[in-house]
Amino acid sequence: MLVKMTLEEFGDVLGSDAPAPGGGSVAALSGALGAELVAMVCRLSIGRKDLEAHAQEIKTGLLEADGLATGLMRRVDLDTEAFNSVMAAFKLPKTTDAEKQKRAEAIQTGYKDAVQSPLSIARECVSVLNLSKSLLGKTNPNALSDLGVAAQQAYAGLEGAIMNVKINLPSIKDEQFNSSTSGEVSQLLKYGREAKDDVYNFVSEKL
Amino acid sequence: MLVKMTLEEFGDVLGSDAPAPGGGSVAALSGALGAELVAMVCRLSIGRKDLEAHAQEIKTGLLEADGLATGLMRRVDLDTEAFNSVMAAFKLPKTTDAEKQKRAEAIQTGYKDAVQSPLSIARECVSVLNLSKSLLGKTNPNALSDLGVAAQQAYAGLEGAIMNVKINLPSIKDEQFNSSTSGEVSQLLKYGREAKDDVYNFVSEKL
């Protein structure tokens, strides 16, 4: 499992000539780091008298951040597995017509899975961005830059995940699937960018 | 050492209520992941007949990417150490005037170190961005999204590092230091953004 590797080991296998792990797993990790930073900022805010008015929201935010961090960290491995299933489908036998048909279907299923994975990463990165935005002005001011970094990481995860959706769409022959996926991608980018810009502007003004 | 932790362990300590590691170490890690992805893209490009014209540039790029990845991964730990030295300075005794003076100087030195660390991260992230940009159209097209993710990660690392520079500047009393640092920060952001946009536009058009 990738998440059981040390940072150094993960870096080495990432930089190697193995196609997986690649950008998808990195996008998931980036989102997870963002969520962990939001969790840290919440923990550094709990119990502060000056933030008492936001105590409940901080606690709820912490729960959500922890959940998103766990989910996105899991996707570091899931994304590489999804990619491996496409590779496995390509290696299926293709001698008889029945084999060719079965292989083609497995490839299509593989690609759809390979798209579903970064799509989920993108959705969860948007959740991290919205959560960061919702906490602006309600958390420990000493950790303001950490909230800013959290949003940058989640946004990089979002953009990276979407590139991994887009690179696979041309291989999928289901037009309806592609059209609804493209529509969701546009929405995710729109909302993610808005939240990232709001966090960036708030943090930049105060730094 | 943080880089000897597993991804999961690093995530846990990041999300904890310990102020370090924080955004600075995450920015370094983000840049390192970007550099590793550039290294992967170079490795997946070496030996391809259709890229023979760029073989030398790819090899040089790989060397640079590997170096930047190693350097940025090291900064994951260095950044947390720099922050710890500020914390240590605050804990120095402050009973006598001599002690107060020594403590104040140690705090100033600590903050300058704490700024130097993310400033180096920012410089190296810009190098990753420029390297990604220089490789556009010269690497394995199947790994195009990975080059795009690399730039996103390096850019998030750049923005995150700069937030960590800015949050510490108000604590530093050396105006000349602050002014030259702010000037460099603006330049790094300018060049980093340009390179990121160029990579993004190139990748987006082809995806």
SS3 B168: coil
Residue B58 tokens read as 């790819």
Nearest chain A residue to B152 by CA: give it.
Answer: A156
Which of the four pLDDT bands, split at 50, 70 and 90, describes residue B8?
very high
The Cα A110–Cα B82 span in angstroms is 46
pLDDT of residue A84: 83
pTM of the model: 0.96
- Chain-wide mean pLDDT for chain B? 96
| CB of B193 closer than 8 Å to CB of B162 | no
Supply the DSSP symbol for B143.
G
CB contact under 8 A, B40 and A15: yes
Sorting pLDDT into bands at 50, 70 and 90, what band is B85? confident
Domain A21-200 has CATH 1.20.120.680: yes
**Phi, psi of B90, rounded to the nearest 5 degrees:** -65, -25
pLDDT value of residue B19 = 78
Q: Would you say A128 and A38 are in contact if contact means Cβ atoms under 8 Å apart?
A: yes
Chain A positions in Cβ-Cβ contact with residue B37 (cut-off 8 Å) = 14-15, 22-23, 26
Q: Are B22 and A5 within 8 A, CB to CB?
A: no
Region A126-149: mean pLDDT is 97
pLDDT for the residue numbered B21: 93
Cα of B69 to nearest chain A Cα, Å: 8
The rounded distance, in Å, linking the Cα atoms of B72 and A147 is 21
**Among the partner residues A3, A7, A18, nearest to B2 by beta-carbon distance:** A7
**Mutate which of A9, A14, A33 to test chain B, going by most B C-beta atoms within 10 A?**
A33
Kindly list the domain boundaries of chain B, sorted by start residue. 21-200
Within 8 A of B26 by CB-CB distance, chain A residues are 33, 37, 149, 153
User: Average pLDDT in the B26-39 region?
Assistant: 98
Q: pLDDT, tens digit, for every residue of A53-68? A: 999 999 999 999 999 9
DSSP 8-state secondary structure symbol assigned to residue A6:
B
Residue ranges with strand state E in A19-81: none
Contacting residues of B for A145, CB less than 8 Å apart: 22-23, 160, 163-164, 166-167
| Candidate from A15, A76, A155 with C-beta closest to B66 | A15
Q: What is the pLDDT of residues B48-70, one digit of tens each?
A: 999 999 999 999 999 999 999 99
